[in-house]
Structure 1
Protein backbone atom coordinates (compact mmCIF):
# COMPACT_ATOMS: atom_id res chain seq x y z
CA UNK A 1 0.00 0.00 0.00
CA UNK A 2 0.99 3.63 -0.41
CA UNK A 3 -0.39 7.09 0.25
CA UNK A 4 -3.32 7.94 -2.01
CA UNK A 5 -4.40 11.50 -2.78
CA UNK A 6 -8.06 12.37 -1.97
CA UNK A 7 -8.89 15.82 -3.42
CA UNK A 8 -12.33 16.14 -1.82
CA UNK A 9 -10.91 15.78 1.69
CA UNK A 10 -8.13 18.22 0.86
CA UNK A 11 -10.63 20.84 -0.27
CA UNK A 12 -12.81 20.45 2.81
CA UNK A 13 -9.82 20.85 5.14
CA UNK A 14 -8.59 23.84 3.15
CA UNK A 15 -11.91 25.67 3.37
CA UNK A 16 -12.26 24.93 7.08
CA UNK A 17 -8.71 26.16 7.77
CA UNK A 18 -9.31 29.37 5.81
CA UNK A 19 -12.30 30.15 8.03
CA UNK A 20 -10.52 29.21 11.25
CA UNK A 21 -7.19 30.94 10.58
CA UNK A 22 -8.32 34.17 8.95
CA UNK A 23 -7.12 36.23 11.93
CA UNK A 24 -3.75 34.48 12.30
CA UNK A 25 -0.33 35.01 10.78
CA UNK A 26 1.05 32.23 8.56
CA UNK A 27 -2.48 31.48 7.37
CA UNK A 28 -1.28 30.66 3.84
CA UNK A 29 1.13 28.06 5.21
CA UNK A 30 -1.56 26.63 7.48
CA UNK A 31 -4.06 26.31 4.63
CA UNK A 32 -1.60 24.57 2.32
CA UNK A 33 -0.32 22.10 4.91
CA UNK A 34 -3.83 21.35 6.14
CA UNK A 35 -5.01 20.57 2.62
CA UNK A 36 -1.99 18.37 1.95
CA UNK A 37 -2.27 16.41 5.22
CA UNK A 38 -5.98 15.84 4.65
CA UNK A 39 -5.55 15.11 0.95
CA UNK A 40 -3.02 12.39 1.71
CA UNK A 41 -5.44 11.02 4.35
CA UNK A 42 -2.72 11.23 7.01
CA UNK A 43 -3.54 9.24 10.13
CA UNK A 44 -0.56 10.31 12.24
CA UNK A 45 0.28 14.01 11.81
CA UNK A 46 3.27 15.21 13.83
CA UNK A 47 4.75 18.69 14.13
CA UNK A 48 7.48 20.39 16.14
CA UNK A 49 6.83 23.73 17.87
CA UNK A 50 8.71 26.01 20.24
CA UNK A 51 7.74 28.82 22.59
CA UNK A 52 6.49 32.06 21.00
CA UNK A 53 5.96 30.41 17.63
CA UNK A 54 2.89 31.12 15.43
CA UNK A 55 -0.06 28.80 16.05
CA UNK A 56 -1.84 28.90 12.67
CA UNK A 57 -0.04 25.86 11.23
CA UNK A 58 -0.98 23.82 14.29
CA UNK A 59 -4.62 24.78 13.86
CA UNK A 60 -4.51 23.76 10.21
CA UNK A 61 -3.00 20.38 11.04
CA UNK A 62 -5.60 19.83 13.78
CA UNK A 63 -8.32 20.58 11.23
CA UNK A 64 -6.77 18.05 8.84
CA UNK A 65 -6.70 15.38 11.55
CA UNK A 66 -10.42 15.88 12.16
CA UNK A 67 -11.15 15.33 8.47
CA UNK A 68 -9.05 12.15 8.29
CA UNK A 69 -10.11 10.84 11.71
CA UNK A 70 -6.40 10.88 12.46
CA UNK A 71 -4.11 11.79 15.33
CA UNK A 72 -2.38 15.18 15.60
CA UNK A 73 0.68 15.29 17.86
CA UNK A 74 2.82 18.31 18.68
CA UNK A 75 6.38 17.86 19.97
CA UNK A 76 7.70 20.67 22.20
CA UNK A 77 11.09 21.03 23.95
CA UNK A 78 10.00 22.00 27.48
CA UNK A 79 7.09 22.55 29.85
CA UNK A 80 7.01 26.29 29.22
CA UNK A 81 6.41 25.64 25.53
CA UNK A 82 3.78 23.04 26.33
CA UNK A 83 1.81 25.44 28.55
CA UNK A 84 1.90 28.24 25.99
CA UNK A 85 0.95 25.89 23.16
CA UNK A 86 -1.99 24.34 24.99
CA UNK A 87 -3.30 27.78 25.99
CA UNK A 88 -3.11 29.05 22.40
CA UNK A 89 -4.76 25.94 20.93
CA UNK A 90 -7.54 25.93 23.50
CA UNK A 91 -8.12 29.60 22.76
CA UNK A 92 -8.66 28.65 19.12
CA UNK A 93 -11.09 25.90 20.10
CA UNK A 94 -8.65 23.06 19.38
CA UNK A 95 -8.46 20.59 22.27
CA UNK A 96 -7.76 17.24 20.62
CA UNK A 97 -4.05 17.72 19.87
CA UNK A 98 -1.65 15.61 21.92
CA UNK A 99 1.42 17.44 23.24
CA UNK A 100 4.65 15.57 23.99
CA UNK A 101 7.59 17.14 25.83
CA UNK A 102 11.20 16.04 25.49
CA UNK A 103 14.29 15.59 23.34
CA UNK A 104 13.72 14.76 19.69
CA UNK A 105 15.29 11.28 19.88
CA UNK A 106 13.15 10.21 22.83
CA UNK A 107 9.86 11.67 21.71
CA UNK A 108 10.05 10.65 18.05
CA UNK A 109 10.96 7.07 19.01
CA UNK A 110 7.50 6.68 20.53
CA UNK A 111 5.65 7.90 17.43
CA UNK A 112 5.59 4.99 15.00
CA UNK A 113 3.94 5.24 11.60
CA UNK A 114 4.20 8.99 10.97
CA UNK A 115 2.77 9.82 7.54
CA UNK A 116 2.79 13.64 7.72
CA UNK A 117 5.50 15.56 9.55
CA UNK A 118 6.08 19.31 9.85
CA UNK A 119 9.38 20.45 11.36
CA UNK A 120 10.06 24.10 12.22
CA UNK A 121 13.52 25.12 11.00
CA UNK A 122 13.70 27.74 13.74
CA UNK A 123 14.11 24.94 16.25
CA UNK A 124 17.74 24.00 16.71
CA UNK A 125 16.87 20.31 16.77
CA UNK A 126 14.71 20.26 13.63
CA UNK A 127 17.19 17.99 11.83
CA UNK A 128 16.98 15.45 14.65
CA UNK A 129 13.18 15.59 14.52
CA UNK A 130 13.40 14.54 10.88
CA UNK A 131 16.18 11.99 11.34
CA UNK A 132 14.55 10.10 14.20
CA UNK A 133 11.02 10.07 12.77
CA UNK A 134 9.51 6.57 12.49
CA UNK A 135 7.78 6.91 9.14
CA UNK A 136 4.81 4.90 7.92
CA UNK A 137 5.52 1.90 5.69
CA UNK A 138 3.00 3.41 3.25
CA UNK A 139 5.23 6.43 2.74
CA UNK A 140 5.11 9.94 4.17
CA UNK A 141 5.15 13.63 3.38
CA UNK A 142 7.72 15.75 5.24
CA UNK A 143 7.71 19.54 5.40
CA UNK A 144 10.16 22.04 6.84
CA UNK A 145 8.55 25.41 7.45
CA UNK A 146 10.54 28.64 7.85
CA UNK A 147 12.99 26.97 5.49
CA UNK A 148 14.31 30.04 3.64
CA UNK A 149 17.53 30.24 5.64
CA UNK A 150 18.10 26.49 5.37
CA UNK A 151 17.71 26.56 1.59
CA UNK A 152 20.36 29.28 1.42
CA UNK A 153 22.71 27.24 3.60
CA UNK A 154 22.43 24.18 1.35
CA UNK A 155 19.95 21.96 3.21
CA UNK A 156 19.68 18.52 1.55
CA UNK A 157 17.06 15.91 2.42
CA UNK A 158 19.41 12.98 1.80
CA UNK A 159 21.80 14.51 4.31
CA UNK A 160 19.36 14.52 7.23
CA UNK A 161 17.14 11.46 6.78
CA UNK A 162 17.93 7.96 7.95
CA UNK A 163 20.11 5.99 5.56
CA UNK A 164 18.03 4.01 3.07
CA UNK A 165 15.05 6.39 3.12
CA UNK A 166 13.59 6.55 -0.41
CA UNK A 167 13.02 10.18 -1.33
CA UNK A 168 10.66 10.20 -4.32
CA UNK A 169 10.23 13.95 -4.87
CA UNK A 170 11.29 17.20 -3.24
CA UNK A 171 10.05 20.76 -3.74
CA UNK A 172 10.79 24.17 -2.31
CA UNK A 173 7.72 26.43 -2.16
CA UNK A 174 7.93 30.22 -1.65
CA UNK A 175 5.06 30.24 0.85
CA UNK A 176 5.43 32.06 4.16
CA UNK A 177 9.10 31.93 5.11
CA UNK A 178 9.62 28.99 2.78
CA UNK A 179 8.43 25.38 2.74
CA UNK A 180 10.90 22.63 1.89
CA UNK A 181 9.00 19.41 1.23
CA UNK A 182 9.79 15.78 0.49
CA UNK A 183 7.61 12.85 -0.53
CA UNK A 184 8.95 9.61 0.94
CA UNK A 185 8.13 6.39 -0.92
CA UNK A 186 6.54 3.31 0.61
CA UNK A 187 8.79 0.56 1.93
CA UNK A 188 9.59 -1.95 -0.77
CA UNK A 189 7.64 0.04 -3.31
CA UNK A 190 8.19 -0.53 -7.02
CA UNK A 191 10.62 2.13 -8.20
CA UNK A 192 8.83 2.15 -11.53
CA UNK A 193 5.94 3.91 -9.79
CA UNK A 194 8.00 7.08 -9.98
CA UNK A 195 7.05 7.27 -13.61
CA UNK A 196 3.30 7.18 -12.92
CA UNK A 197 0.87 10.04 -13.46
CA UNK A 198 1.60 13.18 -11.45
CA UNK A 199 -0.80 15.69 -9.92
CA UNK A 200 -0.64 19.47 -10.10
CA UNK A 201 -1.56 21.27 -6.90
CA UNK A 202 -2.39 24.99 -6.94
CA UNK A 203 -2.19 27.29 -3.94
CA UNK A 204 -3.11 30.98 -3.89
CA UNK A 205 -1.77 33.24 -1.16
CA UNK A 206 -4.85 35.22 -0.07
CA UNK A 207 -2.81 38.18 1.13
CA UNK A 208 -0.49 38.71 -1.84
CA UNK A 209 -2.68 37.15 -4.53
CA UNK A 210 0.30 35.12 -5.76
CA UNK A 211 -0.47 31.76 -7.31
CA UNK A 212 1.90 28.84 -6.62
CA UNK A 213 1.60 25.67 -8.70
CA UNK A 214 3.65 22.56 -8.02
CA UNK A 215 3.59 18.96 -9.11
CA UNK A 216 3.13 16.14 -6.61
Structure 2
Protein backbone atom coordinates (compact mmCIF):
# COMPACT_ATOMS: atom_id res chain seq x y z
CA UNK A 1 0.00 0.00 0.00
CA UNK A 2 1.11 3.54 -0.71
CA UNK A 3 -0.36 7.00 -1.02
CA UNK A 4 -2.32 7.53 -4.23
CA UNK A 5 -2.88 10.98 -5.70
CA UNK A 6 -6.43 12.16 -6.57
CA UNK A 7 -6.45 15.32 -8.76
CA UNK A 8 -10.23 15.67 -8.41
CA UNK A 9 -10.16 15.75 -4.61
CA UNK A 10 -7.22 18.18 -4.65
CA UNK A 11 -9.04 20.54 -7.00
CA UNK A 12 -12.27 20.53 -4.98
CA UNK A 13 -10.48 21.15 -1.69
CA UNK A 14 -8.40 23.93 -3.23
CA UNK A 15 -11.46 25.74 -4.58
CA UNK A 16 -13.40 25.40 -1.32
CA UNK A 17 -10.43 26.70 0.67
CA UNK A 18 -10.01 29.69 -1.66
CA UNK A 19 -13.65 30.56 -0.98
CA UNK A 20 -13.23 30.21 2.78
CA UNK A 21 -9.74 31.65 3.29
CA UNK A 22 -9.36 34.34 0.64
CA UNK A 23 -9.30 37.16 3.19
CA UNK A 24 -7.21 35.37 5.83
CA UNK A 25 -3.55 35.84 6.58
CA UNK A 26 -1.60 32.83 5.31
CA UNK A 27 -4.35 31.96 2.83
CA UNK A 28 -1.84 30.82 0.19
CA UNK A 29 -0.40 28.19 2.53
CA UNK A 30 -3.89 27.06 3.52
CA UNK A 31 -5.00 26.51 -0.06
CA UNK A 32 -1.88 24.59 -0.97
CA UNK A 33 -1.97 22.31 2.07
CA UNK A 34 -5.70 21.70 1.77
CA UNK A 35 -5.31 20.59 -1.85
CA UNK A 36 -2.31 18.43 -0.97
CA UNK A 37 -4.05 16.68 1.95
CA UNK A 38 -7.16 16.00 -0.13
CA UNK A 39 -5.15 15.00 -3.18
CA UNK A 40 -3.29 12.34 -1.20
CA UNK A 41 -6.62 11.18 0.29
CA UNK A 42 -5.33 11.62 3.85
CA UNK A 43 -7.23 9.74 6.56
CA UNK A 44 -5.48 11.03 9.67
CA UNK A 45 -4.60 14.71 9.42
CA UNK A 46 -2.64 16.09 12.37
CA UNK A 47 -1.60 19.71 12.85
CA UNK A 48 0.64 21.16 15.55
CA UNK A 49 -0.75 24.64 16.16
CA UNK A 50 0.99 27.49 17.98
CA UNK A 51 -0.86 29.96 20.22
CA UNK A 52 -1.40 33.18 18.30
CA UNK A 53 -0.78 31.54 14.93
CA UNK A 54 -2.88 32.02 11.81
CA UNK A 55 -6.04 29.92 11.58
CA UNK A 56 -6.32 29.75 7.78
CA UNK A 57 -4.30 26.53 7.50
CA UNK A 58 -6.57 24.88 10.06
CA UNK A 59 -9.63 25.87 8.06
CA UNK A 60 -8.04 24.45 4.93
CA UNK A 61 -7.22 21.16 6.66
CA UNK A 62 -10.78 20.89 7.97
CA UNK A 63 -12.04 21.32 4.43
CA UNK A 64 -9.65 18.63 3.19
CA UNK A 65 -10.79 16.28 5.98
CA UNK A 66 -14.39 16.81 4.93
CA UNK A 67 -13.56 15.82 1.36
CA UNK A 68 -11.62 12.67 2.31
CA UNK A 69 -13.58 11.62 5.39
CA UNK A 70 -10.42 12.02 7.45
CA UNK A 71 -9.94 12.29 11.17
CA UNK A 72 -8.58 15.80 11.80
CA UNK A 73 -6.65 16.33 15.04
CA UNK A 74 -5.07 19.52 16.35
CA UNK A 75 -2.39 19.26 19.03
CA UNK A 76 -1.63 22.24 21.28
CA UNK A 77 0.71 22.82 24.19
CA UNK A 78 -1.76 24.00 26.85
CA UNK A 79 -5.37 24.87 27.68
CA UNK A 80 -4.85 28.52 26.77
CA UNK A 81 -3.89 27.46 23.26
CA UNK A 82 -6.82 25.07 23.03
CA UNK A 83 -9.31 27.78 23.99
CA UNK A 84 -7.78 30.28 21.54
CA UNK A 85 -7.87 27.73 18.71
CA UNK A 86 -11.49 26.78 19.30
CA UNK A 87 -12.46 30.46 19.41
CA UNK A 88 -10.57 31.26 16.19
CA UNK A 89 -12.16 28.34 14.35
CA UNK A 90 -15.61 29.38 15.54
CA UNK A 91 -15.05 32.95 14.35
CA UNK A 92 -13.99 31.61 10.95
CA UNK A 93 -17.28 29.74 10.65
CA UNK A 94 -15.80 26.28 11.24
CA UNK A 95 -16.17 23.74 14.00
CA UNK A 96 -12.99 22.85 15.85
CA UNK A 97 -11.60 19.38 15.12
CA UNK A 98 -10.53 16.87 17.74
CA UNK A 99 -8.15 18.55 20.20
CA UNK A 100 -5.22 17.01 22.09
CA UNK A 101 -3.32 18.96 24.76
CA UNK A 102 0.20 18.08 25.87
CA UNK A 103 3.85 17.94 24.90
CA UNK A 104 5.04 16.35 21.67
CA UNK A 105 6.17 12.96 22.97
CA UNK A 106 3.02 12.48 25.05
CA UNK A 107 0.48 13.34 22.36
CA UNK A 108 2.15 11.89 19.25
CA UNK A 109 2.51 8.40 20.74
CA UNK A 110 -1.28 8.18 20.87
CA UNK A 111 -1.78 9.16 17.23
CA UNK A 112 -0.97 6.08 15.19
CA UNK A 113 -1.18 6.04 11.40
CA UNK A 114 -0.63 9.72 10.64
CA UNK A 115 -0.57 10.26 6.88
CA UNK A 116 -0.64 14.07 6.77
CA UNK A 117 1.19 16.16 9.36
CA UNK A 118 1.47 19.96 9.48
CA UNK A 119 3.90 21.51 11.96
CA UNK A 120 4.49 25.20 12.71
CA UNK A 121 8.24 25.72 12.98
CA UNK A 122 7.64 28.54 15.45
CA UNK A 123 6.66 25.94 18.05
CA UNK A 124 9.53 25.28 20.42
CA UNK A 125 8.92 21.53 20.17
CA UNK A 126 8.40 21.33 16.40
CA UNK A 127 11.34 18.95 15.87
CA UNK A 128 10.05 16.57 18.56
CA UNK A 129 6.59 16.53 16.98
CA UNK A 130 8.20 15.30 13.76
CA UNK A 131 10.52 12.86 15.49
CA UNK A 132 7.82 11.17 17.57
CA UNK A 133 5.18 11.02 14.83
CA UNK A 134 3.89 7.50 14.11
CA UNK A 135 3.26 7.43 10.39
CA UNK A 136 0.86 5.31 8.37
CA UNK A 137 2.22 2.10 6.81
CA UNK A 138 1.28 3.47 3.39
CA UNK A 139 3.46 6.55 3.87
CA UNK A 140 2.84 10.16 4.86
CA UNK A 141 3.21 13.77 3.77
CA UNK A 142 4.85 16.20 6.21
CA UNK A 143 4.53 19.96 5.90
CA UNK A 144 6.59 22.41 7.96
CA UNK A 145 5.35 25.98 7.69
CA UNK A 146 7.20 29.13 8.81
CA UNK A 147 10.35 27.27 7.85
CA UNK A 148 12.26 30.52 7.22
CA UNK A 149 12.21 31.06 10.98
CA UNK A 150 14.84 28.35 11.34
CA UNK A 151 17.30 29.54 8.73
CA UNK A 152 17.80 33.26 9.25
CA UNK A 153 17.21 36.10 6.82
CA UNK A 154 18.97 34.39 3.93
CA UNK A 155 16.40 31.60 3.83
CA UNK A 156 15.53 31.86 0.16
CA UNK A 157 18.35 29.49 -0.75
CA UNK A 158 18.15 27.28 2.33
CA UNK A 159 15.27 27.09 4.79
CA UNK A 160 14.59 24.46 7.41
CA UNK A 161 14.22 20.95 5.97
CA UNK A 162 12.03 18.74 8.13
CA UNK A 163 13.52 15.44 6.94
CA UNK A 164 16.70 16.37 8.82
CA UNK A 165 15.06 15.76 12.21
CA UNK A 166 13.07 12.61 11.42
CA UNK A 167 13.77 9.36 13.21
CA UNK A 168 16.74 7.50 11.74
CA UNK A 169 15.66 4.99 9.14
CA UNK A 170 12.69 7.01 7.90
CA UNK A 171 12.61 6.68 4.11
CA UNK A 172 12.21 10.04 2.38
CA UNK A 173 10.82 9.66 -1.15
CA UNK A 174 11.00 13.31 -2.14
CA UNK A 175 11.17 16.75 -0.56
CA UNK A 176 10.55 20.27 -1.84
CA UNK A 177 11.02 23.71 -0.26
CA UNK A 178 8.56 26.38 -1.44
CA UNK A 179 8.75 30.19 -1.06
CA UNK A 180 5.13 30.29 0.08
CA UNK A 181 4.15 32.24 3.18
CA UNK A 182 7.13 32.24 5.53
CA UNK A 183 8.64 29.19 3.87
CA UNK A 184 7.01 25.79 3.41
CA UNK A 185 8.92 22.51 3.44
CA UNK A 186 6.97 19.48 2.19
CA UNK A 187 8.36 15.96 2.53
CA UNK A 188 6.89 12.69 1.31
CA UNK A 189 7.80 9.76 3.56
CA UNK A 190 7.60 6.34 1.93
CA UNK A 191 5.62 3.31 3.05
CA UNK A 192 7.08 0.90 5.56
CA UNK A 193 6.53 -2.11 3.33
CA UNK A 194 10.28 -2.58 3.05
CA UNK A 195 10.40 -1.99 -0.68
CA UNK A 196 13.04 0.49 -1.76
CA UNK A 197 11.56 2.97 -4.20
CA UNK A 198 13.82 5.08 -6.37
CA UNK A 199 12.56 8.70 -6.21
CA UNK A 200 13.80 9.24 -9.75
CA UNK A 201 11.49 6.47 -10.98
CA UNK A 202 8.46 7.54 -8.96
CA UNK A 203 5.70 9.23 -10.98
CA UNK A 204 6.00 13.01 -10.71
CA UNK A 205 3.11 15.45 -10.56
CA UNK A 206 3.19 19.13 -11.38
CA UNK A 207 1.24 21.37 -9.01
CA UNK A 208 0.50 25.01 -9.80
CA UNK A 209 -0.09 27.35 -6.88
CA UNK A 210 -1.10 31.02 -6.90
CA UNK A 211 -0.21 33.19 -3.90
CA UNK A 212 -3.34 35.25 -3.27
CA UNK A 213 -1.44 38.06 -1.54
CA UNK A 214 1.51 38.56 -3.90
CA UNK A 215 -0.13 37.39 -7.09
CA UNK A 216 2.89 35.19 -7.81
CA UNK A 217 2.54 31.79 -9.42
CA UNK A 218 4.59 28.84 -8.16
CA UNK A 219 4.88 25.65 -10.17
CA UNK A 220 6.59 22.68 -8.57
CA UNK A 221 6.96 18.94 -8.98
CA UNK A 222 5.60 16.86 -6.08
Q: TM-score over 0.5 for the alignment?
A: yes
TM-superposition CA deviations, 1:147-189 (whole Å, max 9, x none): 0132448744443111110011111000000001110001125
Q: What TM-score do you get using the length of structure 1 for normalisation? A: 0.95
* Counterpart for residue 26 of structure 1: 26
Q: Give, in whole Å, the separation in 2 of the partners of 1:159 and 1:197.
A: 24
TM-superposition CA deviations, 1:106-131 (whole Å, max 9, x none): 00000000000000000000000100
Question: Aligned ranges for residues 45-56 of structure 1 at < 5 Å?
Answer: 45-56=45-56
Q: Does 1:149 align with 2:149?
A: yes
Question: Aligned ranges for residues 54-69 of structure 1 at < 5 Å?
Answer: 54-69=54-69
Q: What TM-score do you get using the length of structure 2 for normalisation? A: 0.93
Contact 2:141-2:186 within 8 A present in 1 as well = yes
Q: CA RMSD in A?
A: 1.4
1:193 positional shift: 5.0
1:90 positional shift: 1.6
Aligned length: 216
TM-superposition CA deviations, 1:187-210 (whole Å, max 9, x none): 125324531321111101122221
* Counterpart for residue 11 of structure 1: 11
* Counterpart for residue 212 of structure 2: 206
Q: Does 1:184 align with 2:189?
A: yes
More divergent stretch after superposition (1-10 vs 92-101): 92-101
1:92 positional shift: 1.8
Give secondary structure in 2 for the equivalent of 1:83.
helix
More divergent stretch after superposition (181-190 vs 76-85): 181-190
Give secondary structure in 2 for the equivalent of 1:176.
coil
Of 151, 159, 167, the residue aligned with 2:164 is 159
Q: Give, in whole Å, the separation in 2 of the partners of 1:144 and 1:27.
A: 15
Contact 2:121-2:145 within 8 A present in 1 as well = yes
**Segments of 4+ in structure 1 off by > 6 A?**
none
TM-superposition CA deviations, 1:127-147 (whole Å, max 9, x none): 001000000000000010000
Q: Give, in whole Å, the separation in 2 of the partners of 1:107 and 1:100.
A: 7
The answer for unaligned runs of 5 or more in structure 2 is none
- Structure 1 residues 154 and 89: alpha-carbon distance in aligned structure 2, compared to 1, 3 A threshold: closer
* Counterpart for residue 134 of structure 2: 134
